[in-house]
Amino acid sequence: MEELEFDKNKSILPFLKRMFGYVWKFEKKYFILMLTFAGIVGTIDSSFPKLFSMFIHDCLGNQIEVSKENLWALVSSPCFQNYLWILISIILVLISSVMIFVYSAGAIAERIIFHMRRQLFEKYQALPFSYFDQNSSGWLLSRISSDTDRISEVISWGLIGMAWATVSIFFCFGIMFYTNIIMAFIVLLSIPLMVITSSKIREKILFYSRRSRKINSEMIGLINEHIHGVELNKSLANEDKALSIFTAKAIDYRKAAYKSAFFNASYFPVIIVVGNMAAAGVLGYGANQILEQIPLMTIGILSSFFIYALQIFEPISDMSNYYSIAQNSMSAGERIFTALDEPLEVKDESHLPDFKAIKGEIELRNIHFGYNDEKEILTDFHLKIPSGQQLALVGPTGEGKSTIASIIARFYPPQKGDILIDGISVQERTMKSFREQVGVVLQQPHVFSGTIYANICYGKKNIPRKEVENILKEMGCQEMIARLEEEIQPDGINLSLGEKQIISIARVFAYNPKILILDEATSAIDTITEQRLQLAVKKVLKGRTSIVIAHRLSTIVESDRILYIQNGTILEDGSHRELMEKKGAYWGLHQVG
């Protein structure tokens, strides 16, 4: 996938703007609450050094010596009593604010992750088949799991630190400049040094963060690939080879992740060093002023500036850390928004009318289609299937049979041409109403977690159990009736491939579509079971338009019409008897079969 990059103009603002758009849309109340109390705490924090300065000044002014002997004298002195209630009130506000932070930040993080994951899952359901052809399952799973977790801190705890830091810096510098301009400038001039040094580190963080996220997706896809291919690895005695492939990818991830973590950790040493330099400058200048007995410099002012010189770099550190978090999360955000922004090849326009009950006549008119721009599978393809006709598609593998069925099912939109149902273009009706009347049984059947009964009813709700039992009886699969309440494990690992196909066929029968597409639907079923199913299929196909793709020619000899497809064109068209009498490509295929 060509992924969206937010920093093409070297700016993190587009990413943050989009993230805060989520917060404002879904969690405005918590967002305002969190920022308000973050500002309150930032204001309170910035006042501590000034209060300490006043406390020292008053204590020295009252000439109270601090020692064990006169500790009570200090506690009972005016300087302590004057500020005791202030300190208590600040502590109470801080405690209450922290609780609100926990509640607000937690609410925002979890709710936004919920909304984002829901949107991603909804998007995955709407995206065309071509999107899943081009992207590995590891890439898709990483977006909806680890990437959403990664960006949550940007709009929760990281945002708290950013809001607190902004307010603290504003008030700290305001108090410092009001108290002593020269020492305020000493602190201020140290900041550009930190910004210049850390900016280089940020570039490294973003580069290695993107790299590690990409390798992580590839690694998840690799794990998924070899879990599904474990039988092949064992049969070829290739376990060591699979391990070496995974190890190489894991080493690449380890290197990229380590470098990202290393540069991310480099922020704090830089800030600490620069902060200590500023504190040393303030201490040296202020001490010299006191020794020279400059009237405007007192021990209280010096002590407060020394605290400010150290304290000011904590909010600056938080801002830098937030920037680091945002950069680290930006690669995850890019990948999430790349998926969310993926255009839909076929949009289901809500203003279009629905298909009503259709008869099932299908026409493909002037169809041009290719899975990519390099090769066209179907060129100016024409096909008309009358309502109720049983059509079979045969021919060599990779010549376009499944492509034709996929276009009829609207899994892929043609680049040119039109699909008509009962003479009406599918572009003039909603996709949902079309697919509600089309049933598809794929070559690779899929089952969901839940009971066998729930899987058969998946396409149509509220089907009575008796009806499902009748379907299985009609299919000749009575043995499945006693297993209807059996739980299917993830990926259907407790079912054989043949059992999955029986469930898939029963599901379509229960769906009762007007158009039925069977793509090698009985390829994994044993011959005896297939013969039973063919009898049931014949009953179900009556009165329906059907397209059957099969390599076993014995399963389609009674079809109304057989098309031999080669190179994306109809080479032969007729009934089994007509094509056998012609002694062409179909006859040759039948002789080999």
What is 13-340's CATH topology?
A: ABC transporter transmembrane region fold (1.20.1560)
Q: Tokens at residue 373, please?
A: 């721009």
Q: Is 360 exposed, middle or buried (0-12, 13-18, 19+ CB in 10 A)?
A: buried
Chain region(s) in the chain for CATH 1.20.1560.10: 13-340
Per-residue confidence (pLDDT) for residue 60, from 0 to 100: 58
What is the spatial distance between Cα 12 and Cα 208, in angstroms, rounded to a whole number? 16
Neighbours of 393 (CB within 10 A): 26
User: Tens of pLDDT along 510-545?
Assistant: 888 889 998 876 666 666 666 766 766 776 777 789
Please give the C-alpha separations between residue 185 and each of 192, 278, 281, 296, 428, in angstroms, as whole numbers: 12, 10, 10, 16, 70
Q: Which residues of 48-83 are buried (b: 16+ CB within 10 A; e: fewer)?
A: bbbeebbbbbbbeeeebeeeeeeeeeeeeeebbeeb
Residue corresponding to tokens 């600040």: 90
Q: Tokens at residue 495, please?
A: 């079912």
Per-residue confidence (pLDDT) for residue 421, from 0 to 100: 93
Q: Give helix then strand counts, H and E, for the chain.
A: 22, 12
Per-residue confidence (pLDDT) for residue 296, from 0 to 100: 67
Q: Tokens at residue 98, please?
A: 């922290």
What are the helix (H) ranges across 442-526? Answer: 452-456, 465-474, 497-511
pTM, to two decimals: 0.64
Per-residue confidence (pLDDT) for residue 64, from 0 to 100: 44
User: Tens of pLDDT along 390-403?
Assistant: 999 998 888 888 89
In the DSSP assignment, the letter for residue 524 is T
What is the spatial distance between Cα 412 and Cα 116, in angstroms, rounded to a whole number? 27
What's the CATH number of domain 362-592, 3.60.20.30, 3.40.50.720, 3.40.50.1820, 3.40.50.300? Answer: 3.40.50.300
CB 394 within 8 A of CB 553: yes
Maximum CA pair distance of the chain?
122
Low-confidence residues of the chain, pLDDT below 70?
1-12, 48, 51-105, 267, 290, 295-296, 298, 320-321, 324, 328, 345-350, 521-530, 532-533, 535-536, 539, 593
Chain region(s) in the chain for CATH 3.40.50.300: 362-592
Q: Which residues of 314-345 are buried (b: 16+ CB within 10 A; e: fewer)?
A: bbbbbbbbbbbbbbbbbbbbbbbbbbeebeee
Torsion of CA 268, 272, 275, 280, to 10 degrees: -170
CB 348 within 8 A of CB 122: no
Q: Are strands 362-369 and 378-385 parallel, antiparallel or unpaired?
A: antiparallel
